[in-house]
Amino acid sequence: MKCLQRQPNCSRSEELLSYAQTQKVIQVNLQLLGIENDSDLQFLLQGGELLKVRSASWKKPRYFRLQEDCKTMWQESKKTLKSNQTFSLSDISMVRKGRQSEGLKKYTEEQVESCCFSIVFKDSCKNLDLIASSEGEAKQWVKSLEKIISNINKLNCQQKTEHWIFSCLKKADKNKDNKMNLEEIKDFFRLINIEVDDNHAEMLLKKCDKSKSGYLDGEEIKHFYDLLTYREEISVIYGEYAKSAGFMSPNNLVDFLMNEQREKATLADAHKIIEKYEPDEHAKEKKLLSKDGFLMYLQNPDALILNPDHQEVYQDMSQPLNHYFISSSHNTYLMEDQLKGPSSTEAYIRALLKGSRCVELDCWDGPDNEPVIYHGYTLTSKILFKDTIKAIKEYAFKTSDYPVILSLENHCSIKQQEVMAHHMSSILGSALITSPLGEGMPKHFPSPKELKGRFLVKGKRLNKLEASFASEAAGSDDAEVTEEEESNSENEHKKEVKKKKKKVELAQALSDMVIYCKSVHFQSFEDSRQTHSFYEMASFKEGKAMKLAEESANDFICHNVDKLSRIYPAGSRTNSSNYNPVPLWNAGCQIVALNFQTAGTEMDVNQARFMVNGKSGYILKPAYMRDTATEFDPITLTRGDWLRHKMLHVMIISAQQLPKVNNRKSSILDPLVRVEVYGVPADATEKETNPVENNGFNPAWNENHQFDVYVPDLALVRFVVEDYDSVSENEFVGQYTLPFNSLKMGYRHVPLFSKNGDLLPSAGLFVHIMVLDAE
């Protein structure tokens, strides 16, 4: 959150002039955002006082108001020396009604439930917990915030660009006279991430200054905007196909879609595009597409680089559960590091909303007979097991309807295990799987489709599932359960505990809840084939799993045709860093668990794997990884159905509105683009462009790169933009990663995500993609 300095005292006439100017700016922004005469917006612009809650003793009134740009909230501080703070509405992840946050639950009483709400931010910022003076006022705040955030998110690229440039123009207009002199023009360029020398700035001023006044005003500023946003590459492409008096006819558009975009297109499709995207009513009446309409079409979500068909559930969801890669979180309760960071139900909410279908609960005895969750033998904070299960139930199926696996790391006494079983049963109710689906002993896993909206418990079980179908259910050959504690093996400093095998004391009620995901210790693939049933699954520390994936890849794949495997990070990753999940997916491992709280390449790749198929959290493995007789080996790549050698041609053309890597006005990007391919070892490679100096607003490269992709089913493509530095490490600007098989060909815009995985508004790349069969 950045700060705004207090304004100096003004005279009454100055105040009136300032008010009039502010109202004019607000009206322009309302027009740009398409939300004029909206009562909810007027409520936010007027603002009001709310009680801000930080602790039991820190509850203070603060005035909140939407600023004139209609996208920044202003918060007045009562402290004399403290400047007032702002935050952008685009940084808000969601607004939650009631006492849903940990802070409000802990520091407020139940009677103020209806007056409470929380603003949750996208990055690692703490929630903003607030109390309104009445239930009606709280509802108004929540409704108004949700409405304007929704409207901002619905803006098309052109509207976002216009709004952003207008905001930058207002910031550069230091004396608020609605004119732009030479110094203000130079300031404006720095704000939008371009460094121009004095000569170039003067040239632009003279070009637009038709009145010869020495500054830009009114229509001259509009002309300046048009020059600024002109995209030569779009003009060239459009010119190739605009054969009807400088416009694209429906026939011209069909030619473009079929020849360049490699899409099956009809005249009916072309008419729909013109009707939907052409902004000029005269052109629309004549069934023509202007250059502006063409650009608006290219920037719409369905025309981007990701195949829109893959944004819905398009795969067969009726296969057994173990035939899918499953989005999985490790130590889900942690917000930061593994040694002293906070544990929070918020971490579960964030992981579930990101699509995780397997969450981990590290359970220990707590006070008052209430089990707690934290990272054992460390100083991480503790949360109640009961509160965690409530949060999981609330958010489990917001992003995906498909089943959630609760991976229990159970360190509790028998007494508190019974409490755990009670909480899961009473809170999750009939959604919790407590017996096999169908009649009789199952022979394979149910499918994600059959398990929609259900919870599975992964943990230890006192006996085999088969025993519950026999008359002698209590007597089983597995009654004495031993395990190597995962959490202890994760803590490298507990070596003396790590070596021990521990006899498990397990409550019957908790044991009976483990149906399809019984935890067992892995000895060897041969031992698993002979002694383990399909529902008995092993967890592998990353080092052991990576070694197996490298040395015995085909055995690992065959193992995972029949059973589930879970992989988890090494205990040495105390900073919650992540390993590369790709080699484990190549070995058919389904539950490759990562620290969702830690941003980086590994999480980018993980999110890319699961961004398709409706963000269901389940991705069907290729057929050759579901066949018990498969000979597929990602290391040796012998002949088989998996070998479909493709040539990927990528032309990096340009970028638009890249964000600064820091807030210094003088900081201007020198951007470069790197294209990375992830997959089997033969496909793993990267290539990068040359940097463009001093231009983060509209840099152009026009560079071609070519890649061999041998196993496209397992490949992912990552576009990374960095700020080049000749003397130190390049700085990350943005990235976008997607499965190779989800690439759309032709001229495509590529959206960009921040380091935390949030969409960067208006920023993007423009590329040309071609995928051909290798000769």
CB 338: neighbour CB atoms within 10 A? 22
Is residue 360 part of an annotated ligand binding site?
yes
**Quick one: 347 and 458 in the same domain?**
yes
pLDDT at position 477 over 90: no
Do you know the residue count of the chain?
A: 775
Is residue 74 part of an annotated ligand binding site?
yes
pLDDT at position 487 over 60: no
User: What pTM, to 2 d.p., does this model score?
Assistant: 0.89
* Residue pointed to by tokens 């463009």: 692
Number of domains in the chain: 5
Domain membership of residue 309 (yes or no) is no
Q: Is 159 helix (H, G, I), strand (E, B) or coil?
A: helix
- Is the model more confident about 235 or about 27? 235
**Quick one: 399 and 517 in the same domain?**
yes
**Quick one: 46 and 162 in the same domain?**
no
**Quick one: 151 and 172 in the same domain?**
no
Look at residues 520, 451, 511 and name the one whose alpha carbon lies nearest to residue 486: 520
CA distance 350 to 334: 11
Domain membership of residue 589 (yes or no) is yes
Tokens of 339: 């040694």
Are residues 649 and 569 in contact, defined by beta-carbon separation less than 8 angstroms?
no
CA distance 353 to 246: 47
Is residue 79 part of an annotated ligand binding site?
yes
Domain membership of residue 617 (yes or no) is yes
Q: What is the CATH number of the domain that holds 94?
A: 2.30.29.30
> How is residue 480 annotated by DSSP?
S
pLDDT of residue 254: 97
**Quick one: 163 and 246 in the same domain?**
no
**Quick one: 223 and 284 in the same domain?**
no
pLDDT digits (tens, 9 = 90+) for 567-592: 999 989 999 999 999 999 999 999 99
CA distance 620 to 319: 8
Domain membership of residue 713 (yes or no) is yes
Domain membership of residue 352 (yes or no) is yes
Domain end point (choices 207, 229, 251): 229
- Is the model more confident about 42 or about 384? 384
pLDDT of residue 10: 52
**Quick one: 171 and 81 in the same domain?**
no
Domain membership of residue 303 (yes or no) is no
Are residues 737 and 607 in contact, defined by beta-carbon separation less than 8 angstroms?
yes
**Quick one: 151 and 162 in the same domain?**
no
Residue 749 bridge partners (DSSP): 766
Active site members: 330, 375
Element (H, E) at 704: strand 700-709
> How is residue 5 annotated by DSSP?
P
**Quick one: 488 and 509 in the same domain?**
yes
**Quick one: 503 and 545 in the same domain?**
yes
Is residue 276 part of an annotated ligand binding site?
no
Domain membership of residue 474 (yes or no) is no
pLDDT digits (tens, 9 = 90+) for 665-683: 568 999 999 999 999 999 9
Q: What is the CATH number of the domain that holds 350?
A: 3.20.20.190
Is residue 52 part of an annotated ligand binding site?
yes
Report residue 162's pLDDT band, with 50, 70 and 90 as the boundaries: confident
Is residue 725 part of an annotated ligand binding site?
yes
DSSP string of 346-399, one letter each residue: HHHHHHHHTT-SEEEEEEE--GGG--EE--TTS----EEHHHHHHHHHHHTTSS
Is residue 397 part of an annotated ligand binding site?
no
Please give the residue range of the domain that contains residue 12.
Answer: 3-155
> How is residue 246 annotated by DSSP?
T
Q: What is the CATH number of the domain that holds 248?
A: 1.10.238.10
Are residues 635 and 550 in contact, defined by beta-carbon separation less than 8 angstroms?
yes
Domain membership of residue 308 (yes or no) is no
Q: What is the mean pLDDT of residues 150-156?
A: 83
pLDDT digits (tens, 9 = 90+) for 334-350: 999 899 889 999 999 99
**Quick one: 65 and 137 in the same domain?**
yes
**Quick one: 521 and 374 in the same domain?**
yes
